[in-house]
Amino acid sequence: MDKKKIVVGLSGGVDSAIAAYLLKKQGYEVTGAFMRNWDAIANNDINGNPTLFDPMCPQEQDYEDAKKVAEQLEIPLLRVDFIKEYWDSVFLYFLDEYKKGRTPNPDIFCNKYIKFDAFRKWALSQGFDTVATGHYAKRVDKDGLTYLYKSFDQQKDQTYFLSQLDQIQLKSSLFPLGNLDKHEVRAIAKELNLAVATKKDSTGVCFIGERHFKEFLHNYLPMKKGDIIDINLNKKIARHDGVFYYTIGQRKGLGIGGLKDYQDAKSWYVCKKDVENNILYVANDGDDEHLMSDSILIGSLNFNTIKPLEGQSINAKFRYRQTDLPVIIHYLDDKHVKLVFPRPYKAITPGQAAVFYDGDICLGGGIIEEVYYKNQKIN
């Protein structure tokens, strides 16, 4: 009987390396593939001019690391480009959300449209049976359906980023690290003496890398200075570089301090953004009322297996690594639901993902479009 042919997305990191190792150990015919989805040499800025090479983008170093891993594991390594697909399906969405004053999570749509769509379709066209990645998540098959479960390592669980996958994508994907914790993964890599055994985890935007984010965005969104207003006193207290660059709940990098009339102010946080008038509203730390919400409108719905019942109590996560919070789901139409909270929750941000859970099962999710408190839209 022929071995099942699997292509592993080798990113140049330790997680994907160990995913490939485990699959080979299990007897699969394993090939690695490095995805190049961002042009690190030249991209166009807001005026259509190419931006200069950014030495902070580690993509080429990642490729060299992936080659070393493939050599050590004795598996072939292919290189495939999805630059146009990434730009069209992920990066333009990313920019459009910022233009609306929202805070997007591009990694979720990178998984939906690139790693488990463009890459998966390419893999199948090349004769591979399935794709695998180094995500911390579990695939569980039962009753004819493929379920997405939280990983054994709850601190590293990445089902939040996989919440937009559908049944077709889940059925043709494997997550070999689902039953391991990060310490075990590192230990295996050190035992194998892999070149990436001690390489730090990537924390940058999917495929773009770690950068000074405001400067990076400035290449694509024009910087327009405006007023920072104390929302309680409706008083101008400072200037900002552009509302696009700030996030609800943000405390660092506001440039507010030592104000003459605010000797008792400890720190400030962003509580509202008025994109149309280019105004950033802030409140003093400790005054959390402006961050509270009791219901939200969710769009871009995706349920990968079980669709919750109308009025059902489920759990939701509004940020990666956040504790699951109870919510009640109400259907408005095929594309939107309203989540009602049993108590007010803090710092829920439009543009971010709301991911639904039934215990350890990830049911899917959607994008936060509007946030409400006491029947008033607050962002």
Q: Which residue shows structure tokens 């405001």?
A: 214
CA angle, residues 155, 326, 281, in degrees to nearest 5: 85
Q: Which residues are catalytic?
A: 110, 206
Alpha-carbon gap, residue 176 to 29, rounded angstroms: 14
